[in-house]
Structure 1
Amino acid sequence: MPEPRFHAVIADDHAIVRAGLRTALETPGMVETDGIAVVDEAADGLQAISAVRQHRPHLLLLDVQMPHAGGLEVLLEARRWSPDTKIVILTGVMSVGKISELVSSGVDGLFSKGEDNTELYRQLPNILRGRRHIAASLVAMLEDAPDAPDLTARERQTLNLIVAGQSNKEIAETLGISAKTVDRHRTSLMQKLDVHSVAQLIAYALREGLIDPAGGL
Structure 2
Amino acid sequence: MDERTSESQASIVGIVENDAVFRAEAIRRLSELPEVKTPVLEWSQAEHFLRDERRTEVEILFVDIMLSGISGIELAKTVQHTLPNLRVIMLTNMNSDEMIFDSIKFGTLGYILKSELEDLDKAVRIVQNGGAMITPTIALRVISSFRREVDSAPRLTDRERQVLELMVRGKTIRAVAEFLGLSAHTVHDHIKRIYKKLEVHNRAELVLRAQELSLM
TM over 0.5: yes
**1:1-217 matched pairs, under 5 angstroms:** 3=7, 5-27=10-32, 31-32=33-34, 35-51=36-52, 54-113=55-114, 115-145=115-145, 146-147=148-149
* Whole-Å separation in 2 of the counterparts to 1:73 and 1:40: 20
Counterpart residue identity of residue 102, structure 1: S
Deviation at 1:88, TM superposition (A): 0.5
* Segments of 4+ moved more than 3 angstroms: 1-4, 51-55
Deviation for aligned residue 1:50: 2.5
Q: Distance in 2 between the 1:66 and 1:12 partners?
A: 7
Cα separation, partners in 2 of 1:120 and 1:39, compared to 1, 3 Å: closer
TM-fit CA distance, 1:108: 0.9
Q: TM-score, normalised by structure 2?
A: 0.59
Shift of residue 46 of structure 1? 0.6
The structure whose RCO (Cα within 8 Å, separation 6+) is larger is 1
RMSD value over aligned CA atoms? 2.7
Q: Percentage identity across aligned positions? A: 17
Q: In structure 2, how many angstroms separate the alpha carbons of the residues matched to 1:142 and 1:97?
A: 10
Q: Structure 1: where are the runs of 5+ without partners? A: 150-191, 193-217
What's the offset of the Cα at 1:39?
4.8
Counterpart CA distance in 1 for 2:88 and 2:22 is 17
Q: Which has the higher helix share?
A: 2
Report the Cα offset of residue 38 of structure 1. 3.6
Distance 1:127 1:73, change over 3 A: same
**Distance in 1 of aligned mates of 2:55 and 2:91:** 22
Residue 42 of structure 1 and its aligned partner are, at CA, apart by 1.0
**Structure 2: which 5+ runs fail to align?**
153-198, 200-216
Give me the whole-angstrom Cα distance separating, in 1, the residues matched to 2:70 and 2:34: 30
Q: Which amino acid aligns with 2:30?
A: L
- CA deviation profile, 1:131-162 (whole Å, cap 9, x unmatched): 1111111111121232299xxxxxxxxxxxxx
Quickly say closer, same or farther: Cα 1:32–1:84, change in 2 above 3 A.
same
- Which of structures 1 and 2 has the bigger CA Rg? 2
Take 1:50 and 1:106, find their aligned partners in 2: how far apart are those partners?
A: 21
TM-score (norm 1): 0.59
**Structure 2: which amino acid aligns with 1:18?**
R
Say whether the 8 Å CA contact 1:26–1:38 is kept in structure 2: yes
Q: How many residues align?
A: 146
CA contact (8 A) 1:86 1:108 kept: yes
Distance 2:63 2:53 in 1: 11
- The question of whether the paired residues in 2 share the 8 Å contact of 1:92 and 1:112 is answered with yes
